[in-house]
Chains A and B, each alone.
Chain A
Amino acid sequence: MFPNGNQALKNINLEIPTGMFGLLGPNGAGKSTLMRILVALLEPTSGDVNIFGYDLRKQRKEIRGILGYLPQDFRFFAKYKTYEFLDYAARLSGMNNGKQRKQTVDAMLENVGLFDARERYANKLSGGMKRRLGIAQALIHNPKVIIVDEPTTGLDPEERIRFRNLLSEISEKEVIVILSTHIVGDISSACKCMALMNRGEVSFFGTPEEMLKKAEGKVWRIRVSGDELHAIDKLYPVISTIPLGVDWEVQVVADEIRGYEAESCSPNLEHAYVYYMENDLNLWTND
């Protein structure tokens, strides 16, 4: 609950299993708030969070011990060198053995491709490198729960793929990776489970397959003229438009299409996301 009375989150009831968990939602849906609650930076007004048996209200220390966190904004550093930042994080997480810590830090730097930049001041790293340093610090102490908030924002496609792969790899282990994103593409097949958030509420919880299933038969391909395109755009949520000479091929999401010749096609996650958003918000209905 914000001081102005706005509720950032309401009625959240989730049980997140091990493996990668994707939290999808538009900007302002409350993802970050949820993340910050999960990492004990914010205290929920009411409700309980239980992580690996620890009550977040009562056992923050234990939870903080098994947590790795990469915040959404991760750009400005104090005047630490790359390896110092990581070393500092490692030490604060209880890695007291100096030799072992050094090895771990070096390995982690190697892992995220920052070994060569280890002596550079963290502030001088590029955006992608900073993100990688961010994930490195989140992983440095082998946490059981890894929470990454919008990690791919601002990354180039190559960096984004690397990132996704890195997270997939980690999620293979017996850990929970909670990945929040507003980019549907980030919820890869590696996500065993996902939730869709909107306006502070969970509108879907399940596997990506289940989500896809919900959108089956709801995605249509329509061939229209330029004038019709505007009409369609007002009637249905348009996912893509492809120019075909004078005509356009339009993909829309809808329970049914009236008045146009439409061809059903198989949905992907993005279609499903739009379908949910449309259902949830009724953005495109004219009723």
Chain B
Amino acid sequence: MNFFSNIQIVSKYESKLLLRSWFFRIFAFLSLFIITVYDLVLVVFESDSISWSIKALASNIPYLNLLILNEIQSIVAIFLAADFLKRDKKLDTSEVFYVRPLSNAEYVIGKIWGNVRVFLILNLVVMVLSVLFNFIAPNTPIDWMAYLIYFLLISIPTLVYIIGLSVFSMQVFRNQALTFILLLGYVGFSHLYLTHKYHFLFDYIAYYFPLVKSSIVGFTNWGDILAHRFIYLSAGLAFIFTTIAMFGRLPNSARKNYLWPTAAFLMLLTSGFTAYKYMDSLSEKGKMRAFYTSINNKYVHAPKALIETYAISLEQKAASFNAEAQMKGIALQTASVFTFCLNPGLQVREITGATGETLSFEREEQIILVDLGKETAAGDTISLTIKYAGKILDAFCYLDIPHEELQKPNRVNDIFTSDKQYAFQTGNFLLFTPETYWYPRAGTAYSNESPDWQQTYFSRYKLKIKPLPGLIPLSQGEAVENADGSYSFLPEYPLQALSLIAGKYKQQSLTVDSVQYNIRYFEGHDYYTAAFDALQDTLSSIIRDYKLSMERKYKLDYPFSRLSLVEVPAQFFSYKHAWSKADETMQPEMFFITEKAWTNPLFNVAKSIKNQKRRSSRSGVGETDEEMQVAILSRILWEYSLFPQLYNFQFNVFSSDWPIANKVIEYYLQNPQSDTDADENSSMSAMSSAAYILNNENNEMTGYEKANLLMGKHHFKDLLARDEYREFMDFFIESKSNWLFAPAEINQGMIAFRDSVYAVLERNTFRNMQFEHLLDTLGNISRTDILSQIAGWNQPVDLPAYTVSNPVVSQYTHRDKEVYVMKLLVSNHSDNDGMIQLTIRENKPSATRSDPKINRKLRLSAHQTRQLVSVWDEAPKEVEINTMISGNIPAVITYPIVDINKEKGVITDIEGDYILPDRGWNTADEMIIDNEDSLFSFSAPVIMGLLPKWLNKTNDKAFKYSGYSWWRPPIQWSATTNQAYYGRNIRSAYLVKSGSGNKTATWKYPVLSPGDYEVYYFVSKSNDSRGNNRSGDTYHFRIINDMETEDAYLNMQNAGNGWESLGVYYFHSDTVGIVLTNENKGRTVVADAVKIVKK
């Protein structure tokens, strides 16, 4: 009788019990049912947008299935596993097994193995099921290895850990209910709160842990995966061994048995040590990154050269490479030692000078200080060759991205987590983007002290690469294969940087208008050609259209001779830098797409075409196959903006003071100027009303409004430097960009100024442009002092604030001819000068935004009121006032034109902007008290318990106006904003959940003379009508004057938008209080503004 056979016996009978338990049976049935439904919907019928992420990466099928199963079984296992100890105690017949000659270890392990075994069988059944669905699913390969790997990585450690933890807890607490509560609490806490925090350390199921497997390079984070799973596997074993040691049966031998306590201790130690190493390596990476940045800071102003030509030759090895970079350029400063930067994972072997003489150098991590041996004057030629070798260290990439950002998981469809890989260097794939510094570049990498490092210069490149056998290299320029198996690239244009890719690529090419379009896909990944079978004849024209419309849109020409869509492994990831909207997924001449574009459902082309067919036949449109395929292909093409190819790889705007200079120009160029562009590009200009309304749906402040308020408090540089405002970065830059050029646009005209910008750019292709110089030039052209505005960026903005009245449109009919006059009153009631952008949309589609009558910016000085009069042949449809950088909330106000006054006779109004005298806010007989005024107050919140406090918590503490969800309105008065609310520049109101009437809002009115007054309340129903459409949605007011209280009710269902009367009251000479309570049968009560009019 041996150890294993005893375990086997105990486990066999334990498994029998588990299989006979109804709890387990129901769980197993439910799991299989849920998984079947998931698989049918997602894998077989592809009925959801996430289907593509599963089908494109076949390994995601077992990944998804096992994730779902583990999610359920990790909870069920707690109930079942902890049960055996309880059962042993409860059943008086268990003792007859205790008196058998098996050891405690055999018994406990047997019991646990019996449980684990049944779960494993269930896992196997699930895997068989998913293989079956995988097999049925059309055009989906089966990744057999993935089934095994995910089973070992997800299921085994999770089960061992949770079962170990359960039995251990049961042993310690000796109370099943307590054990369940504690463990379920733990599961909930780790799964709902800790989630990916602390680099997934507490994610025992590996639900958030990056486990996406590429079909090209497999896993890219094996070290982390093994460490993470081992932490839980060994912790689980430690718990099991402790349970054995603590098991309440006399051991077989009287000798003190140290084996299991020792084993448990060792396992716990191993687990803890692995966890420590795992976390330490990450914090070490963080420290190294800070260290690299500090070194960049140290040398950011050190003398550097401008490299004019590069000749790089590189030989790929299995996990490293040897390279030589010949560089010729000119010294930018007079010096003998020049600074270069190279990935710190690469070792410099030798540096030689122009005549082959060895040059001495110093290396400090990434920095190479090359001593030319003699002083070189600024402008003199420099020539040197650096020989180096090694492996790219990817912790060196993205030094500018904050640690928290790097730690964020790369979640896809909220199910899969992919590792973030910036460079690849395996035997079958290689990818180096400029971010890796895979060849020496002049100067330093990212410095957080000076943007000087950013100056990019355009160089001529020559690249020769010898890849590993079977790999095809890609880079900029045409590839020429040499006799020795190496490839040469000679890009036709100067480039800021070079990228290098090598893999088992296949190619499809098409030349249209002398540009070669390529698709570089991995072997076996051509899933799309068959789907686009009807496009043979039209493909060229679709591509031509795409390129031309992109060029038209940005008024820039595509500069290169080829454009390739390059497939890269699933884990490839890039961040957007603060200084550019372009990221590393785009390289000159290239777009990268991760494996079959697995994250983008649009690329499920067969399915998309099928859906299009279904829609077409349902609507009876009767599109041809070709038309449908064209529609799908066009949608895919328009996913990719050519902007970085048109702008970023041709131009560079640089400022020693402003690291975001280039982005300011990018934003300006990307802002749509025609209506057609606006449609395609609404996401780029979120200032457009569609995006505004989207953000404002929940009465929340938009990013622009928050950015405006922050710009009013802090100066621009401060805002850019602070990580806590990173989420508003793009809002700051876009607003500043719009504001910067607005005066020039007003002076010169929007179109004329824009044309000047393009003209200046065109003179500077492939050149570094000084931002300040560019602004000066543009200022001269537009006769505007643009440059001096930059000085103002060092101070907080004095925010202007505007009041906009409802536009009044009148229709004049004269001799059967209709003319419309629109009058709009806008005042700047602040002490600060400002500008606004006015857009009037007509009812005819042909209108373009380039027409200054339709779209223009105008100045509004402090305390200035303007009446804007315009005359139209067609009725205007909508007016949009964008207050740009202002204290207005909402910052964009849109008025749909609904009521048109009919007038007879000839119009007397003349188009133009008229300056009116400053209007007073209140008159002697009429006073409006808004919730923003000091005369408004609301009942103080009562002390709350922790739970309601937590439920009522708003995440955005920095901003006064918070959004709310209509199904969970705030339980205390909360400030919200919406353009339908009343307000001068801040259209806000306080909102509270309806209740018993214990919450009140009060407007106080100081009565100047006794008499009759009519009281009005401002109703805005459009925004919070959801949930308020019940009968009984009636506001209860109390009007208090001279110790008397009168009740007033306002039925919100019958009330219209705007001022609604609450009745006429006699007020004595005193202060009147108008009190609104939260007593209401509707869902919410809104406290906005009251108006009191003397009768």
Contact = CB atoms under 8 A, between A and B. Distances in A.
A65 B252 CA distance: 10
Given A74-B93, A78-B91, A89-B100, A84 B252 contact: no
A64 B100 contact: yes
Nearest to A76: B91
Interface string A67-95: 10111011111111000110011011110
A92 B12 CA distance: 12
Report which residue of B92, B93, B97 has the largest number of chain A beta carbons within 10 angstroms of its beta carbon: B93
Nearest to B88: A78
Contacts of A92: 6, 9-10, 97, 100-102
B13 A80 contact: yes
Interface string B270-293: 000000000000000000000000
Interface string B83-97: 000010011111111
Interface string B1-28: 1000110011001001100110000000
Interface string B66-102: 0000000000000000000001001111111111111
A10 B243 CA distance: 33
A180 to B, nearest CB: 15
Interface in B95-116: 95-103
Given A64-B252, A93-B101, A134 B96 contact: yes
Given A80-B13, A84-B16, A134-B96, A96 B251 contact: no
A40 B253 contact: no
B1 A57 contact: no
Interface string A233-246: 00000000000000
A93 B17 contact: no
Contacts of B253: 58-61
A210 interface: no
Given A73-B92, A77-B93, A92-B6, A67 B99 contact: yes
Given A64-B99, A67-B99, A84-B13, A40 B93 contact: no
Given A41-B250, A71-B95, A137-B96, A79 B101 contact: no
B254 interface: yes
Interface string A19-32: 00000000000000
Nearest to B10: A92
Interface size class of B (residues with CB under 8 A): 20 to 34
A41 B98 contact: yes
A111 to B, nearest CB: 17
Contacts of A263: none
Report which residue of B94, B249, B254, B255 has the largest number of chain A beta carbons within 10 angstroms of its beta carbon: B254
A60 B20 contact: no
Given A60-B254, A78-B17, A79-B17, A88 B95 contact: no
A91 B96 CA distance: 13
Contacts of B87: 78
A43 interface: yes
B96 A70 contact: yes
A89 B97 contact: yes
A79 B20 contact: yes
A58 B252 CA distance: 8
A76 B93 contact: yes
A89 B99 CA distance: 10
A69 B93 contact: no
B9 to A, nearest CB: 5
A57 B255 CA distance: 9
A163 B964 CA distance: 77
A89 B96 contact: yes
A76 B13 contact: no
Given A80-B13, A88-B13, A71 B254 contact: no
A197 interface: no
A40 B250 contact: yes
Contact of B252 (A41, A42, A60, A73): A60
A274 interface: no
A195 interface: no
Nearest to A73: B92
Contacts of B96: 69-71, 74, 89, 134, 137-138
B101 A65 contact: yes
A39 interface: yes
Interface in A5-62: 39-43, 55, 57-62
Contacts of A88: 9, 13, 97
Contacts of A96: 1, 5
Report which residue of B5, B6, B92 has the largest number of chain A beta carbons within 10 angstroms of its beta carbon: B92
Contacts of B1: 94, 96
B95 A80 contact: no
Interface in A183-211: none
Contact of B92 (A74, A80, A122, A138): A74
Contacts of A78: 17, 87, 91, 93-94
Nearest to A68: B99
Contacts of B99: 39-41, 64, 67, 69
A61 B103 contact: yes
Contacts of B251: 60
A76 B88 CA distance: 10
Given A71-B96, A78-B17, A57 B5 contact: no
A140 to B, nearest CB: 10
A27 B102 CA distance: 32
B93 A93 contact: no
Nearest to A42: B250
B425 to A, nearest CB: 55
Given A88-B9, A88-B13, A94 B101 contact: yes
A134 B91 CA distance: 14
Report which residue of B9, B100, B251 has the largest number of chain A beta carbons within 10 angstroms of its beta carbon: B100
Interface in A117-149: 122, 134, 137-138
Nearest to B2: A96
A122 B253 CA distance: 32
A57 B92 CA distance: 24
B90 A76 contact: yes
A94 B102 CA distance: 9
B478 to A, nearest CB: 74
Given A58-B254, A93-B100, A94-B101, A69 B92 contact: no
A138 B96 CA distance: 8
A17 B91 CA distance: 33
Interface string B1024-1067: 00000000000000000000000000000000000000000000
Nearest to B106: A92
Nearest to B9: A91
A287 B101 CA distance: 52
Contacts of A60: 250-254
Contact of A75 (B13, B92, B95): B92
Contacts of A57: 254
B603 to A, nearest CB: 52
B83 to A, nearest CB: 10
Contacts of B90: 76
Nearest to B252: A61
Contacts of A58: 253-255
Contacts of B101: 61-62, 64-65, 92-94
Contacts of B95: 41, 69, 71
A91 B14 CA distance: 14
B107 to A, nearest CB: 9
A59 to B, nearest CB: 8
A80 B10 CA distance: 13
Interface of B: 1, 5-6, 9-10, 13, 16-17, 20-21, 87, 90-103, 249-255
13 contacts: A55-B254, A61-B101, A61-B252, A69-B96, A75-B92, A77-B91, A78-B87, A78-B93, A79-B20, A84-B13, A85-B93, A88-B97, A92-B100
Given A67-B99, A79-B16, A91-B9, 16 more contacts: A41-B99, A41-B250, A43-B250, A58-B253, A59-B254, A61-B252, A65-B101, A70-B96, A71-B96, A78-B17, A78-B91, A78-B94, A85-B93, A92-B9, A92-B10, A134-B93
Return the 4 tightest CB-CB contacts between A and B, nearest first. A61-B252, A92-B100, A64-B101, A73-B92
